[in-house]
A and B are shown apart, each in its own frame.
Chain A
Amino acid sequence: MSTTTKVLTGVWIAAVTVAAFTWLPPAQGFRNPESARIVVFHVPCAVLTFIAFMANALYSWKYLRSRNPLADAKANISAELGMLFAVLATVTGSLFAMEQWGSPWNWDPRETSIVMLMLVYAAYFVLRGSVEEKSKRARLSAAYALLAFPAMVFLIWIFPRIVESLHPTNTLFSRTGLDPAYRVTLWGFFAGLVSVYVWMFRLRLRVELAEARLRERRHSELEMEPIGAQP
């Protein structure tokens, strides 16, 4: 990612943040109309959580087809980013819940489902950490990710719709769901976050590749040692 793109991303996110406080009107129908601005930051984090976990399943499927370690690394990175955005969505959601519903946690279906989702992907990291052999770890975690994917779709898209929820449904993609100013700001912030996601993904991949090079170098040095130790 070029420096210009990084600078533009930072400027864009800053501009949308300022717009959320200066340009957006307080939303009527909320307990505290000012707190509706939180939605602009909370919802994009939740949408990116879904995208990242979907990418995790796609790269896992790609790994099982190609057995390419790069696809496994990308699946792991996607799960990490999904977890980061899930935590951000939960924290910002709690702040909104505190203002709107009077308590930071209400065991609402969406709140429950994001906790379950984080547990499902925490188990993915535990699985990866518990297997030493690289190819076995990649194979097992890819299979787990493909099993976790339908659970993720159920928890995000189906479960909150079949149980009564404090969260509204079908607001993001319907014409009447959101005030136009809120829609523009929300999707503007989402666009900025997508750019940050790509930036994070590429940087994390470079870290992963550098770690792999270091491991390989150490491994080859260890193999060389007995020969070097001979008189």
Chain B
Amino acid sequence: MNPLVAYMITPLLVWAGIFGYLLWLDMRLKMLEKRLDEEARQ
């Protein structure tokens, strides 16, 4: 692998890992809160 690619890709991987996980958590929380609201209304 091109050394330039190797060290450029490293922070991108860390960013993808942490912000991907945060995004997934946020989406899951919103979905759960929506479901809780719907069930409370019913």
Contact = CB atoms under 8 A, between A and B. Distances in A.
A138 to B, nearest CB: 21
19 contacts: A13-B15, A17-B15, A20-B11, A34-B4, A37-B10, A38-B7, A41-B11, A87-B17, A88-B13, A96-B10, A99-B1, A196-B18, A200-B18, A200-B25, A203-B26, A204-B25, A210-B29, A210-B33, A214-B32
Nearest to A213: B36
B10 A42 contact: yes
Nearest to B1: A98
Main secondary structure of the interface of A (DSSP, over half): helix
A18 to B, nearest CB: 9
B11 A95 contact: no
B10 A92 contact: yes
Interface string B8-41: 1111011101100110011011001101100100
A104 to B, nearest CB: 9
Interface of A: 13, 17, 20-21, 32, 34-35, 37-38, 41-42, 45, 84, 87-88, 91-92, 95-96, 98-99, 193, 196, 199-200, 203-204, 206-207, 210-211, 213-214, 217
Contact of B3 (A21, A34, A193): A34
Contact of B6 (A21, A87, A98, A210): A98
A45 B14 CA distance: 8
A37 B17 contact: no
A207 B32 contact: yes
Given A34-B4, A35-B7, A207-B28, 18 more contacts: A34-B3, A41-B10, A41-B11, A41-B14, A84-B21, A91-B13, A92-B14, A95-B7, A95-B10, A95-B13, A99-B1, A200-B18, A200-B22, A210-B29, A210-B33, A213-B36, A214-B36, A217-B39
